[in-house]
Amino acid sequence: MLFAVVLAFLITVAALAYIKLVSLVDTNERTNRNTEFVLKLEEIMSYLKDAETGSRGFLLTSDTLFLRPQKLAGKQVANLVLDLRSDTKNIDEQIPYLDSIQNMSTRKINNIWQLVHSIKPGQVNPLTDNQKQMIENGRLLMDSIRATIQNLKKMEQNRLNFNIEKQKKSTADSPRFFLIIIILAVAVIIMTMFGIYQQLLLVNKARKNLEQKINELDHANRELDQYAFTLSHHLQEPLRKIRMFSSRYENKLKKREVAHDNDKAKNTEGVAELETIRKINALATDSQQLLNEFLAFANLGQKDKTEPVRIHLPDLLHRVWLAQKEMVKTAQANYTFEGIENIVGSESRIELLFNQLIDNALKFHHPERPLSIHIESGQELVENTLFHAITIRDNGIGFEPEYAQKIFLLFQKLNAKTNDSGLGVGLAICRKIVELHNGSIVATSQPDFGTTIKILLPMPTFHA
């Protein structure tokens, strides 16, 4: 907006300066032409005077040498008048004057020639009456030519004076005019630059503020991750010790039990003690596992050095499957894979992702049928963008559709009663990994029939 106003102002200033300059040049030109016009008129007059003087000389001496100016005058006067007339800039009122000058000049020159031809060779003064009349006519003609030229000259002079006056005025004006324009322009430019500078300062300040906020946020985030990481790490040790000592105590109790096999009272006491110590151990084991999973989750935010590589899915699934062989046996599980075999991502994270997904499927298998997991890998067009789509379909116990969103949140357990080892971190880990790959993950399910988890990952920029 400001810029447009300034631009408009500068253009106006430039246009004004240009108009002023053009008018100055114009005035100057007109003054020159005036002077030239007057000079030409005087030239005509002088040619005619030359012719007149020449004829007098001839009358006195009969020498034809004096007739030369006459010959020249006729031609020159005609040319000069033509010159003056052809100047289109001349004002119309001058044209009749010019015509009558032309006319009278022709007559004057003819008059001189008549006089010259009337002189017979050998004729001596006095002149005849006729000749005297001719001279008188010539004189009258000359007078009226002089008067006309005088008139024209006066008119031209007036115009010249007017122009000179005008020029004087505008010349006197121009330095002040240009000075004002230049001062205005400079002032506007300085103001504009100052305005722009102020804007830049503001923008810079805002940017710095923003950067600082981002830094603080980053720092706070890192600190939070660090807290989570350090805390869970430090809690690991005491939990391990609790398990060690409780299991050691359990060992001792078992031995004592064997020793007191016949003492019924002591035996009952021993069994109760054993039960207590087992509970302590089980609780510590649960907490340890929770911490381990949470540590895995916190770890995802910790290191970002994992470079994306090409991953062969069937190989990865095979590894994951082998690692879970205990649970695979319990669930009588099998899996199938079809589709695109390579995906691009951080290998350790993608492995953790499939590890968690398979683990989840195995955990929540249906007790009445063997578990089968089908993994499909393909391409899918979503809102004009091509994605790598991976679906993991199982025939497990499933869940109520209303929990489809909730299951991906941290520490959300749906199957509280089943008393399995699911602690609600696994799917949160999956979601975080997928998000770290700029993808999305959704789950759909029908209770008692099974669960389908669908992952969309951006297609790699290069072809794997």
**396: its two tokens:** 């497990």
End-to-end CA distance of the chain: 50
- The answer to whether the beta carbons of residues 181 and 16 sit under 8 Å apart is yes
In the complex, the smallest distance separating the C-beta of residue 253 from other proteins, rounded to whole angstroms, is 12
Of 124-132, 136-144, 171-179, 245-253, the segment contacting other proteins by CB under 8 A is 245-253
In the complex, the smallest distance separating the C-beta of residue 244 from other proteins, rounded to whole angstroms, is 5
Of 108-116, 243-251, 271-279, 319-327, the segment contacting other proteins by CB under 8 A is 243-251
Instruction: CB nearer to other proteins: give 202 or 244.
Output: 244
In the complex, the smallest distance separating the C-beta of residue 267 from other proteins, rounded to whole angstroms, is 22
Instruction: CB nearer to other proteins: give 46 or 348.
Output: 348
| Closest listed residue to residue 366, CA positions, set 391, 335, 323, 333 | 333
In the complex, the smallest distance separating the C-beta of residue 266 from other proteins, rounded to whole angstroms, is 23
Residue with tokens 């009445």: 368
- The answer to whether the beta carbons of residues 277 and 249 sit under 8 Å apart is yes
Tell me if 9 contacts other proteins by CB under 8 A: no
- The answer to whether the beta carbons of residues 301 and 225 sit under 8 Å apart is yes
Tell me if 325 contacts other proteins by CB under 8 A: no
Gyration radius from the chain CA atoms: 59
What would the x/- binding string for other proteins be over residues 198 to 237, using CB under 8 A? --------------------------------------xx
- The answer to whether the beta carbons of residues 357 and 392 sit under 8 Å apart is yes
Which segments of 332-388 does DSSP mark as H helices, in order?
347-363
In the complex, the smallest distance separating the C-beta of residue 461 from other proteins, rounded to whole angstroms, is 29
Instruction: CB nearer to other proteins: give 150 or 251.
Output: 251
| Closest listed residue to residue 354, CA positions, set 325, 387, 305, 391 | 391
Residues from 246 through 275 that contact other proteins (CB under 8 A) = 247-248, 250-251
Q: What is the largest CA-CA distance in the chain?
A: 195
Tell me if 154 contacts other proteins by CB under 8 A: no
Instruction: CB nearer to other proteins: give 243 or 393.
Output: 243
Tell me if 244 contacts other proteins by CB under 8 A: yes
Instruction: CB nearer to other proteins: give 219 or 248.
Output: 248
Who contacts 316 (Cβ-Cβ below 8 Å, separation ≥6)?
A: 347, 350, 351, 354
In the complex, the smallest distance separating the C-beta of residue 331 from other proteins, rounded to whole angstroms, is 25
In the complex, the smallest distance separating the C-beta of residue 291 from other proteins, rounded to whole angstroms, is 12
Tell me if 276 contacts other proteins by CB under 8 A: no
Q: What is the DSSP letter of 463?
A: -
Phi, psi of 152 (to 5 degrees): -55, -45
In the complex, the smallest distance separating the C-beta of residue 299 from other proteins, rounded to whole angstroms, is 10
Residue of 113, 245, 337, 403 interacting with other proteins (CB under 8 A):
245
Peptide bond into 96 cis (omega under 30): no
Other CB atoms within 10 Å distance of the CB of residue 252 = 12
In the complex, the smallest distance separating the C-beta of residue 223 from other proteins, rounded to whole angstroms, is 21
Phi, psi of 425 (to 5 degrees): -105, -30
Tell me if 285 contacts other proteins by CB under 8 A: yes
Using DSSP's 3-state secondary structure scheme, residue 454 falls into strand
**133: its two tokens:** 């009349």
In the complex, the smallest distance separating the C-beta of residue 306 from other proteins, rounded to whole angstroms, is 12
Which segments of 87-128 does DSSP mark as H helices, in order?
94-118
Instruction: CB nearer to other proteins: give 247 or 276.
Output: 247
In the complex, the smallest distance separating the C-beta of residue 276 from other proteins, rounded to whole angstroms, is 16
Phi, psi of 396 (to 5 degrees): -80, -160
In whole angstroms, give the CA distance from residue 328 to residue 394.
13
What would the x/- binding string for other proteins be over residues 288 to 317, using CB under 8 A? x-----------------------------
Residues from 343 through 402 that contact other proteins (CB under 8 A) = none
**108: its two tokens:** 């004057």
Burial 34-66 (b: 16+ CB within 10 A, else e): beebbebbeebbebbebbbebbeebbeeeeeeb
Residue of 207, 208, 213, 240 interacting with other proteins (CB under 8 A):
240
In the complex, the smallest distance separating the C-beta of residue 303 from other proteins, rounded to whole angstroms, is 10
Using CB under 8 A, count the residues that bind other proteins. 14
Tell me if 243 contacts other proteins by CB under 8 A: yes
Of 90-98, 241-249, 269-277, 446-454, the segment contacting other proteins by CB under 8 A is 241-249
In whole angstroms, give the CA distance from residue 40 to residue 77.
10
In whole angstroms, give the CA distance from residue 311 to residue 320.
13
Instruction: CB nearer to other proteins: give 237 or 368.
Output: 237
Binding site residues, other proteins, CB under 8 A:
236-237, 240-241, 243-245, 247-248, 250-251, 281, 285, 288
